[in-house]
Amino acid sequence: MKRNIFKILIILSIICYILAHIFPVYSTSNNDAQYYQGIWMNLFGWYLIGETNFYTWCANPIYLITLFWMAMVKACTKKYCPSIFTLIMSTLAAILGLLFIWNRDILSDEAGHVEQVETLYIGYWLWEAALVLLVIALWIKWYITAKL
């Protein structure tokens, strides 16, 4: 059962990450745009380079790199034991994702206008849940394999 918890948490993390792309993420103070969908935030988040929210977007490639690293290690060794790299990267991704809660100003267009984020919707919380579930899964797996 202990070994299945890791797989279940990883699968839940991936499902949450995919669902986060379907649902709205946040709404701004601008009345013209009601909400922003997760897929667009992920695809065009790199546009925020130089803005403080760019670091929050960086949680996406870090999350995907961590999953890719886990898959490569498992493919090469037929067994997966979390490395310090995956533990640090997944924890960093979760922390970067949480930064969006405290930094509520976001670039709204190419002209440099900044708007205030008014509401965080389920897309954000699913995305953050995906990041946190990955952290929990890796730390549980590390704890189980360290005990053996």
Question: What pLDDT digit, counting tens, does each position of 48-74 carry?
Answer: 655 666 778 788 889 999 999 888 777
Q: Please give the pLDDT value at position 6.
A: 84
Q: Please give the pLDDT value at position 136.
A: 93
Average pLDDT on 1-8 reads 76
- The fraction of the chain above a pLDDT of 70, given in percent, is 74
What is the rounded average pLDDT for all residues in the chain? 80
**pLDDT exceeds 90 at position 135:** yes
**Position 106 confidence tier, pLDDT thresholds 50, 70, 90:** confident
Q: Please give the pLDDT value at position 7.
A: 87
**Position 77 confidence tier, pLDDT thresholds 50, 70, 90:** low
- Burial degree of 148 (CB within 10 A; 0-12, 13-18, 19+): exposed
Contact 100, 130 (CB under 8 A): no
**Position 131 confidence tier, pLDDT thresholds 50, 70, 90:** very high
* Cα–Cα distances in angstroms (integers) from residue 51 to residues 45, 48, 57, 61, 88, in the given order: 10, 5, 10, 17, 24
The neighbouring-strand residues paired with 116 are: 105
What domain count does the chain have?
1
Task: Identify the CA nearest to 136 among candidates 6, 17, 20.
Answer: 6
- Structural domain that includes position 109: 2-147
